[in-house]
Amino acid sequence: MPRDELGILSEIKKGYILRQLKEGKRGDGRTPDQFRSAEIKIDYVKRAPGSAYVELGKTRIVAGVKVEAGSPFPDTPNQGVLTTNVELLPMAFPTFEAGPPNESAIEVARVVDRGIRESKMIDLEALVIEPAQKVWIVFIDIDVLDFDGNLIDACTLGAVAALRSAVVNGSAAGKEDFRLPVRNTPVSVTMVKIGDNIVVDPDLEEEQISQARITVSTTEDGRIRAMQKGDNGWFTLDEIKKAISTSIDVGKQLREKYLK
């Protein structure tokens, strides 16, 4: 993610944010553990069996789920296929460039994918049409339209909402329309470290001055399904443990508010 590329954050501003954080205050009035309020519209794109528009702060993404019949991977002949792609569209930020996904886009996509895959949210065994021959391939594609920090959580919310609402046309396998076999509801919660403070759901300014990032994806049973530390800084083990517990708590709130 871009770090202060706009040059808008002077050292003075950084100092101000840090002083505020020491008193537990953030630029937009949130507490350190508070997620921004999000807006989620499902079925946003009619041509996709599942879709969701997510606005998290001014971060705006559209997630679309397509389901097509195809070949399984040779080493998993009895499973459907799940694939996640994130496009950091050049419209979303002045320095984003057109072209194949760069390392930032790939990281976001892979962390979103891991949260969904490792929670076993989708029962891939139930997506076999003909063993070793034909399975359902679930494509999760995410367009990032506007960038205001915390892409991983915005994209995970969008992907999970789109998967939960998807109704697949079964005719390619001679079947009726069906809902995806959803077993649980993974949620990712991302935190960054600024000075000695750790804040949830960073906005763009906070991301630009943070030293390190940690994402924890959990399921409703309070279990950890995926983690990713990012950026050039570090965490202590205690900070990580605290982040896990925050993630479980905030995850519950998000599920309650947006994914019922």
Residues contributing to the site for another protein (CB under 8 A): 44-48, 51, 58, 60, 62, 64-66, 68, 76, 79, 85, 87, 89-94, 98, 100-101, 103-104, 106-107, 109-110, 114, 117-119, 139, 141, 143, 145-148, 214, 222-237, 240-241, 244-245, 248
Identity of the residue, 60 or 255, whose beta carbon is nearer to another protein in the bound complex: 60
Determine the Cα–Cα distance for residues 220 and 197; give it in Å rounded to an integer. 27
Positive or negative torsion for Cα 200, 190, 144, 124: negative
- Taking the complex as a whole, the smallest distance from the CB of residue 66 to another protein amounts, in Å, to 4
- Taking the complex as a whole, the smallest distance from the CB of residue 165 to another protein amounts, in Å, to 13
- Mode of pairing for the β-strands spanning 134-146 and 128-130: antiparallel
Identity of the residue, 39 or 68, whose beta carbon is nearer to another protein in the bound complex: 68
Identity of the residue, 46 or 260, whose beta carbon is nearer to another protein in the bound complex: 46
Q: What angle do CA 215, 221, 224 make, to 5 degrees?
A: 30
Identity of the residue, 36 or 225, whose beta carbon is nearer to another protein in the bound complex: 225
Identity of the residue, 24 or 39, whose beta carbon is nearer to another protein in the bound complex: 39
- Taking the complex as a whole, the smallest distance from the CB of residue 174 to another protein amounts, in Å, to 18
Identity of the residue, 24 or 233, whose beta carbon is nearer to another protein in the bound complex: 233
- Taking the complex as a whole, the smallest distance from the CB of residue 238 to another protein amounts, in Å, to 10
- Taking the complex as a whole, the smallest distance from the CB of residue 140 to another protein amounts, in Å, to 9
Cβ atoms of residues 41 and 61 within 8 Å: no
Helix (H, G, I), strand (E, B) or coil at 146: strand
Helix (H, G, I), strand (E, B) or coil at 122: strand
Residue 160, number of CB atoms within 10 A of its CB: 29
β-bridge mates for residue 62, sequence order:
53, 143
* Cβ contacts of 157 within 8 Å, gap of 6 or more: 38, 40, 52, 54, 56, 187, 254, 258, 259
